[in-house]
Amino acid sequence: MGTTLDYAAMDSALARDGKLTYAFTLYDDNNTPSDPSDDRAMGSYDDVLTAAPYSPNYLQVNPAAVFATFTAPSSFLLSTLISGGRLPIAWTLPAGMRVDGASVQWWSAGTSPTHIEVDKDLDPAATGATIELGTFAFTPAGAIIFLEAEDRYGREFVSSIWTNS
């Protein structure tokens, strides 16, 4: 078998007409992962999704329909990441969505940076949380906060806010 790759589904493959059974075909890439024209079909199966995925185009046009929106911090500064500190975050949720979890990740500078991730489970209706950062012994060079929201079908939408200094 060749290299395993994930292929992005095209908008046209994401039916929104109520058909929830999807046929998946598995391919061997013939050791040319950049060239799908010589791929060989190895098998296929059907799977039933509880709801159709949203198309990338729909999500680009309607992000406020499904993604949580951060209300705090309004600007995520590296100076807020202090060893032993606490990072308060808050958000608004679109109707019908619930939050699942949040995480903050930060890292040091350099080619082999130290990386820390702190995850926090959230109550589904929560609109705020405080993340305990724990102790660390380096100066953060970059960071990001993730917030996971999902709908009743389990479709998950991740919002993020990056440090800007």
Residues that bind Ca ion (CB under 5 A): 29-30, 32, 35, 38-39
C-beta closer to Ca ion: residue 32 or 71: 32
Give least dist CB 8 to Ca ion, A.
Answer: 16
Tell which residue, 50, 51, 52, 30, has the closest CA to residue 40. Answer: 30
Q: Is 82 helix (H, G, I), strand (E, B) or coil?
A: coil
CA distance from start to end of the chain: 45
Q: Residue 39 or 159: which CB sits closer to Ca ion?
A: 39
- 33 or 134: CB nearest Ca ion: 33
In the complex, the smallest distance separating the C-beta of residue 28 from Ca ion, rounded to whole angstroms, is 8
Q: How far is the CB of 4 from Ca ion (least distance, A)?
A: 12
Instruction: Characterize 114-125 residue by residue with b for buried, 16 or more Cβ atoms within 10 angstroms of its Cβ, and e for exposed.
Output: eebeeebebeee
Please give the torsion angle defined by the CA atoms of residues 68, 73, 79 and 81, in that order, rounded to the nearest 10 degrees.
-50
State the nearest-atom distance from the C-beta of 36 to Ca ion, in Å: 6
Residue 39 vs 163, nearer CB to Ca ion? 39
- Phi first, then psi, for residue 36 (nearest 5°) are -75, -10
Identity of the residue, 39 or 76, whose beta carbon is nearer to Ca ion in the bound complex: 39
Q: Which residue is nearest to Ca ion (CB)?
A: 32
We find the least distance from the C-beta atom of residue 47 to Ca ion, in angstroms, to be 24
d(CA 22, CA 41): 16
